[in-house]
Amino acid sequence: MNNRIREFRARYNLTQEDLAKKVNVRRETIVFLEKNKYNPSLKLAYDIARVFESRIEEIFIFD
């Protein structure tokens, strides 16, 4: 599974730390997500999509 978190973060001018605080995870988790080293839970994917005011499938791309 790929994602466009880095792209959306840049669009919303958010740092990894900002996003981590908004979705209540550690910054490390955002780093792992951006490197595609971790697949988020549905709740985390939903929270991230809500921060970026987008649909989950716009941010997370299922291969």
Partner 1 sequence: MKKTVVLFIIGALVLITTGFWIFSGSSQVETAELVSLVVIVLVVAFALFVGYKRLTSVKKGEPAEDEMSKKIMQKTSSLSYYISLYLWLAIMYFSDKSNFETHTIIGAGILGMAVIFAVCWLVYNFRGVRNE
Binding site for partner 1 (CB under 8 A): 1, 17, 20-21, 24-29, 32, 35-41, 43-44
Rounded to the nearest whole angstrom, what is the least distance from the CB of residue 52 to partner 1 in the complex? 19
Dist. CA 14–CA 39, nearest whole Å: 21
Rounded to the nearest whole angstrom, what is the least distance from the CB of residue 60 to partner 1 in the complex? 13
SS3 call for 9: helix
Rounded to the nearest whole angstrom, what is the least distance from the CB of residue 20 to partner 1 in the complex? 6
Alpha carbon of 6 to those of 1, 20, 55: distances in Å? 14, 13, 16
Q: How far out from the chain centre does Cα 63 lie?
A: 17
CB closer to partner 1 out of 35 and 55: 35
